[in-house]
């Protein structure tokens, strides 16, 4: 189902439809994440991916025209590039551990300790929260810095537009 | 046959990544390009989360009834990635709005067509 939505997004030229389809896609992705036991991530994806991103896209579309131009050149070259990249990556996956392999390196190192000791050390039963706020608190601080910088960037970009418009009028 | 079952999650991820990459390269519309980038990004979420899953495990919230949990570390990393992703998306859309103000279009080809005469003029002036 996600594959179908993705292909339709690629083919659709009405940008409004593309944005709404992207919202549907985000909800489907959230469902997949629930199936993969990542409930916190799924919640964030549903709220941020399907909610805030859609609102951002819609407010940007408000300013432009809603129809994409017909592409001028043939889509063969991009398709070949994308498929070649995909083939190389698919070859690479053959060396990766199998799905749900509990002996895989990802389950052996620090994650094991988080699950075994995290609840006792931090007092938070939800390990994702414990790691996010306690063990890797500096990461979260850095994340907030990035969001803050992006916010400043958006304000700087959009304020200049308004200022120039006001100055341009007699 | 088992190889297919074992690696299906990676290949589903790859399909999404390829679709996103194709949209980014092939489409000239800047908003469409940003949608493509967002799709590519979700493929990275899957790439991180899928190996953390253990069949028979539950979400990593400690309770006495359960002994097997999925790996919490990728979940944390991807939570950060989603939030940073939406921040960069907002920045990208702001830049698109500025481009629209400056050129009156968000199509790459039209922007290039507007740029081309200007570039040629500067080249002529230099000569």
pLDDT digits (tens, 9 = 90+) for A17-46: 777 778 888 888 888 888 777 778 888 888
**pLDDT tens-digit profile of A49-68?**
788 888 888 777 776 666 66
pLDDT, averaged in runs of 10, over chain B (127 residues): 68 81 80 85 85 73 72 82 87 85 77 74 61
Please identify every stretch of chain A with a pLDDT value under 50, giving residue numbers as ranges. 166-170
* A140–B contact, CB cutoff 8 A: yes
* A145–B contact, CB cutoff 8 A: no
Rounded to whole angstroms, how far apart are CA atoms B120 and B93?
Answer: 29
Which of A49, A69, A118 is opposite residue B82, by nearest beta carbon?
A: A49
The answer to whether B4 touches A93, Cβ cutoff 8 Å, is no
- All structural domains of chain B, each given as residue ranges with its CATH number in brackets, are 2-126 (1.10.287.3510)
Structural domain contains residue A126: no
The answer for residues whose C-beta is within 8 angstroms of residue A110's C-beta and 6 or more apart is: B73
**Of B89, B36, B31, which Cα lies nearest the Cα of A52?**
B89
Structural domain containing residue A52: 1-68
pLDDT at residue A20, as a whole number = 79
CB–CB of B75 and A44 under 8 A?
no
Q: DSSP label at A62?
A: T
Total of domains in chain A: 1
Structural domain contains residue A44: yes
Cβ-Cβ contacts under 8 Å, B82 against chain A? 41, 44-45, 48-49
**What one-character-per-residue DSSP string does A88-117 give?**
HHHHHHTTSPPTT-TTSGGGTSHHHHHHHH
């Amino acid at each position: 189902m996600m594959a179908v939505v993705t292909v339709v997004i690629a083919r659709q030229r009405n940008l409004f439809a593309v944005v709404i389809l992207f919202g549907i896609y985000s909800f489907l992705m959230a469902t997949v994440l629930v199936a993969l036991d990542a409930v916190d991530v799924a919640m964030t994806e549903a709220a941020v991916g399907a909610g805030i991103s859609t609102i951002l896209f819609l407010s940007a579309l408000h300013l432009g025209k809603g129809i994409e131009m017909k592409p001028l050149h043939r889509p063969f070259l991009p398709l070949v590039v994308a498929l070649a990249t995909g083939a190389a990556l698919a070859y690479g996956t053959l060396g990766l551990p199998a799905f749900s392999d509990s002996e895989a390196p990802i389950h052996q190192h620090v994650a094991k300790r988080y699950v075994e000791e995290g609840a006792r050390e931090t007092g938070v039963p939800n390990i994702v929260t414990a790691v996010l706020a306690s063990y890797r608190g500096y990461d979260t601080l850095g994340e907030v810095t990035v969001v803050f910088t992006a916010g400043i960037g958006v304000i700087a970009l959009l304020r200049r537009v308004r200022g120039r418009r006001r100055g341009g009028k007699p | 046959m088992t190889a297919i079952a074992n690696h299906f999650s990676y290949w589903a991820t790859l399909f999404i990544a390829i679709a996103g990459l194709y949209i980014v390269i092939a489409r000239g519309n800047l908003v469409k390009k940003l949608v493509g980038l967002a799709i590519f990004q979700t493929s990275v979420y899957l790439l991180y989360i899928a190996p953390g899953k253990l069949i028979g495990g539950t979400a990593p919230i400690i309770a006495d009834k359960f002994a097997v949990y999925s790996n919490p570390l990728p979940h944390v990393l991807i939570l950060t990635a989603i939030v940073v992703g939406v921040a960069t998306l907002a920045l990208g859309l702001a830049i698109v709005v500025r481009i629209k103000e400056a050129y009156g279009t968000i199509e790459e080809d039209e922007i290039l067509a507007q740029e081309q005469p200007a570039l040629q003029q500067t080249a002529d002036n230099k000569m």
